[in-house]
Amino acid sequence: MKPSRSAFLSWIYDPKIRGIIAQVVTLVVLGLLVGWLAHNAVTNLAARGIASGFDFLNDPAGFGILQTLIPYTESDTYARVFVIGLLNTLLVSALGIVAATILGFIMGVARLSKNALVSALATVYIETFRNIPPLLQIFFWYFAVLQAMPSPRQSLGWFDAVFLNIRGLYLPRPIPTEAVTAFVVAVVLAFALWWVIARWAKRRQDETGQPFPVFWTGLGLVVLLPYLASLVFGSPFTWELPQLRGFNFVGGWVMIPELVALWVALSIYTSAFIAEIVRAGILAVPHGQTEAAMALGLTPQQRLRLVILPQAMRVIIPPLTSQYLNLTKNSSLAAAIGYPDLVGLFAGTVLNQTGQAIETIAMAMAVYLTISIMISLFMNWYNKRMALVER
């Protein structure tokens, strides 16, 4: 091909200029689109007589909520409802993350077990719960399991302290006594001592080569010191047991069935994914690493702690964090069984009552976005810190 005869339009073939043109066009189109949407929304809101803005947050909500972690009455504001929804979401997410992590690690390691029965059971667990939609699992635990529980009078009970019935799971509630201060001090002291001992043990090993069983000593301290404190200063808690009065239980701690179902379903569903991540992480460490550690004479525990886990964790942590994020987002399925989480409560009930769709949805979105961004910032920081150094 011959170059163009005239130099008049030749700039159009410059990739740099083409790039700039493409970006300008994109920006203009995007700006027009946003402008049109905003105009549309404003006109429609005006036509329906809905005032936009966040003033509605100060209005009284006027409805009851199934579970509130902070005191709440029907005359409280929508702003308080928002906080209650947020706390409920955080509660079920935090409970779920803890349970899913423990279950996931157990199942992931079990699937790698040399014991055929153990690994087969783990495989069935993982493949079942990973491949059933989470909403269906929530329905299963809520409708098929918990709604099939007996009435309070026929509760399933353990040790006269824990009861399970159609109204939920009833647990003993600790009520702090005067000795609780001493107890808390003992717990804090035990962890502080653990830290001091860990530092001392590292120094001593550096100097003399003698290792020290830091973990077991620390664990012993954490159990023993609070126990001693409760012996000397008396019991730090009295336990309020749930008791049957008439047709229902009073006292104790109650986990409503909506929370139990959501928690169990999300934990099990997510644990199946975590199990696969753990398995992949361990398998990602080449067998040569184990062999080299064996050849050097390291014991199986040392091989795991000093060679395998530090490398496996680098593979496990990033996808694990994103599973935590998934669990948090999936907790919005709460709406389906009426657990008052942020989406069901605020972007559901509040939206319906006020009609402030844009504001409520935007606030709910902002919450999830904030959580996501915080988690991904943590992830980037962690990756940077832990990345293997190459060249």
Q: Are 97 and 104 in contact (CB under 8 A)?
A: no
Q: Are 222 and 190 in contact (CB under 8 A)?
A: yes
Under the binding rule (CB under 8 A), the answer on residue 209 touching another protein is yes
Half-sphere exposure for 295 (CA within 13 Å, toward CB): 6
Q: Quick one: which of 149, 261, 275, 307 contacts another protein (CB under 8 A)?
A: 307
> In whole angstroms, what is the distance from residue 325 CA to residue 347 CA?
19
Write down the least CB distance from residue 111 to another protein, Å: 24
Under the binding rule (CB under 8 A), the answer on residue 388 touching another protein is yes
User: Of the two residues 70 and 387, which places its CB atom closer to another protein in the complex?
Assistant: 387
Element (H or E) spanning 3, and its range?
A: none
Under the binding rule (CB under 8 A), the answer on residue 298 touching another protein is yes
> In whole angstroms, what is the distance from residue 209 CA to residue 311 CA?
24
Under the binding rule (CB under 8 A), the answer on residue 213 touching another protein is no
User: Which residues lie closer than 8 Å to 376 by C-beta, 6 or more apart?
Assistant: 321, 325
How many Cβ atoms are within 10 Å of 123's Cβ, its own excluded?
Answer: 14
Under the binding rule (CB under 8 A), the answer on residue 28 touching another protein is no
Under the binding rule (CB under 8 A), the answer on residue 299 touching another protein is yes
> In whole angstroms, what is the distance from residue 23 CA to residue 38 CA?
22
Interaction mask 35-64, another protein, x per CB under 8 A? ------------------------------
Under the binding rule (CB under 8 A), the answer on residue 289 touching another protein is yes
Q: How many residues sit in the footprint of another protein (CB under 8 A)?
A: 29
Under the binding rule (CB under 8 A), the answer on residue 114 touching another protein is no
Write down the least CB distance from residue 158 to another protein, Å: 42
Q: Map the footprint of another protein across residues 309-328, applying CB under 8 A.
A: 310-311, 314
> In whole angstroms, what is the distance from residue 281 CA to residue 111 CA?
13
User: Of the two residues 185 and 313, which places its CB atom closer to another protein in the complex?
Assistant: 313
Write down the least CB distance from residue 286 to another protein, Å: 8
Take residue 78 and report the two structure tokens written for it.
Answer: 């929508």
Q: Quick one: which of 6, 75, 131, 210 contacts another protein (CB under 8 A)?
A: 210
Nearest to 323 by CA among 88, 101, 92: 101
How many Cβ atoms are within 10 Å of 234's Cβ, its own excluded?
Answer: 13
Question: Hunting for tokens 């979105």 — which residue is that?
Answer: 365
Write down the least CB distance from residue 27 to another protein, Å: 42
Residues that bind another protein (CB under 8 A): 205-211, 286, 288-289, 291-299, 302, 306-307, 310-311, 314, 388-391
